[in-house]
Chains A and B, each alone.
Chain A
Amino acid sequence: MSVHASARERRAGLSLLAGTHTRYWLLIAPALFMLCVFYIYPIGRVLWMSVTVPAPGLGNYELLATSASIHKMLLTTARITMVTTVVTLILAYILAYTLVHSSPRTQRWMFLGILIPLWISVLVRAFAWFVLLRRDGLINSVLMSSGIIDTPLSLIWNETGVMIGMIHYMLPLGVLPIYANMRDIDQRCIAAARGLGAKRFEAFRRVFLPLSLPGVVGAGILVFIFSLGFFVTPALLGGGKTLMIAEYIKVQILEVVRWGLGTMLAATLLLLIGGLLAALSRLVNLRKLFGAG
């Protein structure tokens, strides 16, 4: 780097390295300015309001310990997020595993099947599930007319519906990190294990699985934090009955107009995700995980 820099200095006659640096900072400045003024500052206000509205102090945070309805909502959020993450990871692992062991042709088709939902509007996907899962929706009418059930199953406006919709949303996001990691596993390791007498399952369990874990951890973080603050699908398929934290916050602000409570929950969510990412940043390269290798 320093060699390049000196060549540039000589050429520009700008013998000051700082001068060149300033020019590159000018490229960064507009975006940085926008981000600080219109993103970081508003978020700072949310944190500030959580300890100043309606009265200065930690009164809002006390509600975390005392309010029964908040407890219920937090438990619902935790349960749905956990189940969604675990199921998504299992399904994503099977998909990624099959992908790395397929011919390029099969891979192309499978990827198409994974990418199409990824690119389709989240509202459209929630709507499709809404049509399928309703009380008089397609799944219930097929099951009833074929005589398998007498009364319609309640598949929507409860946790089941929210989880189905969320797993459907998260799955493509989960597959990609796991696949990227599996692709880099040196297949000769497995061949060696087999050559040394390991059974097929043994070779998988003791060699392939441990090697693929970093991808699973990465995908897990991604799915977990996206699920935690997810609004659209839980709100549409939960129908106001199964409240997760994001929708709960929206109700506090837009309907009940309790800024103190709403900003406190938003701040809690932010700190939770921030803490989680900070703790895991030693384990996983976050920049790579979010796509910026």
Chain B
Amino acid sequence: MSTNGFGNISIMTRSMAWLIVCFLVLPITIVFAVSVTDKHYLSLPEQGISFQYYEKLFTSGPWMTSILQSFVIACASTVAAVLLGTLCAIGCWRLGNRASDFVRMLMLVPIMVPTIVYALGIYQFWIDLRLLDSYTGLIIAHIVTGLPYVVITVSTALAGFDPRLEQASLSLGASIGQTLRLVIIPNIKPGVISGAIFAFIHSWDELVLALFIAGRAVFTLPRRMWDGINESLDPTMAAVAAVLIAITVSLLCTDAYTRSRRA
């Protein structure tokens, strides 16, 4: 897109926009400054920078356990959500009737309903099923709340997929299973991958459910960060935040780079 008949916009609007971008980005950078503090409480470095809190983070049993637990839970729930969500989106796309439209709408419900509402329900349910504070319990909750992201991204990818390819495959004698595996899935792979990324981040970053249905044996990273911020004094929290930001930014940049190379 280029500038158009409307002409250039005023310097004032443009500078306001950049100020807003600064408001979005700059506050986050404070985390890096605090994470290298030489003091023993949350503050900016004074005499010099020190990496003691990074060392502390990577040698700390509780933090590393939480990171590992979060990683396992996020991987397991992502795999299941991607599998279920992709099949569901393909089924809805192929049927394309009122009932399947309703299913697709239903799949969006977990995004619209505040997590706190769901947390109460699943808390009660897990008390009955004795799944509180278990991997299974948290993974199931993350699967159903992660499903919408997969259904959305895969549905979007399917909207750009030519249904005649599927018919060609079927009429040439492939079974539905083969058609799925060899024709449909490879064509909608970008959608499946973004769905997986969304589902992973959803689980990795999820706090409210972890507060309600886990908390002793299963203590995820967001849960530990929540405690870390509320107790507020230990700069290790800043080191964790800095590492997470670095990972996110490098993933985003890799993504942008591969896109620009493909384009």
Chain A complexes with chain B: yes
Interface residues of chain A, those whose CB is within 8 Å of chain B, are 1, 4, 7-8, 11-12, 21, 23-28, 30-32, 34-35, 38-46, 49, 91, 94-95, 97-104, 107-108, 110, 112-117, 119-132, 138, 168, 171-172, 183, 187-188, 190-191, 194, 200, 203, 208, 225, 228-232, 236, 246, 249-250, 253-254, 262-263, 266-267, 269-270, 273, 277, 286-287, 290-293
**Residues B13 and A97 in contact, CB atoms below 8 Å apart:** yes
7 additional A-B residue pairs with CB within 8 Å, beyond A99-B17, A112-B256: A8-B170, A24-B94, A27-B87, A39-B144, A40-B106, A98-B16, A127-B225
Name the prevailing secondary structure of the B interface residues: helix
Q: Can you list, as one digit per residue, whether each of B116-133 has a CB less than 8 Å from chain A (1) or not (0)?
A: 111011111100000000
**Residues B117 and A229 in contact, CB atoms below 8 Å apart:** yes
Q: Which residues from chain A contact B117 at a C-beta distance below 8 Å? A: 43, 46, 229, 266-267, 269-270
Also in contact, A95 and B5, with CB within 8 A (given A39-B118, A292-B156):
no
- How distant is B256 from chain A, measured CB to nearest CB, in Å? 7
Interface 9-mer from B49-57, B61-69, B240-248: B240-248
**Would you list 25 pairs from A and B whose C-beta atoms are within 8 A, ordered by A residue?**
A8-B167, A28-B95, A34-B144, A35-B110, A38-B122, A38-B140, A95-B20, A97-B17, A101-B8, A110-B18, A110-B21, A117-B28, A122-B205, A124-B241, A124-B244, A131-B31, A131-B238, A132-B27, A187-B4, A190-B5, A253-B212, A269-B114, A269-B117, A273-B112, A287-B104
**Residues B30 and A30 in contact, CB atoms below 8 Å apart:** no
**Residues B116 and A246 in contact, CB atoms below 8 Å apart:** yes
- How distant is B198 from chain A, measured CB to nearest CB, in Å? 9
Interface residues of chain B, those whose CB is within 8 Å of chain A, are 1-9, 13-14, 16-18, 20-21, 23-25, 27-28, 30-31, 34, 42, 44, 84-85, 87-88, 90-92, 94-96, 100, 103-118, 120-125, 140-141, 143-145, 147-148, 151-153, 155-156, 159, 163-164, 167, 170-171, 173, 176, 201, 204-205, 207-208, 211-212, 222, 225-226, 229-230, 232, 237-238, 241, 244-245, 248-249, 251-252, 256
- Docked complex Cα distance between A198 and B46 (Å): 58
Which of chain B's residues has its CB closest to A292's CB? B152
**Residues B125 and A41 in contact, CB atoms below 8 Å apart:** yes
**Residues B171 and A31 in contact, CB atoms below 8 Å apart:** no
A28 contact from B3, B9, B103, B159, Cβ within 8 A: B103
Which of chain B's residues has its CB closest to A4's CB? B167
- How distant is A24 from chain B, measured CB to nearest CB, in Å? 5
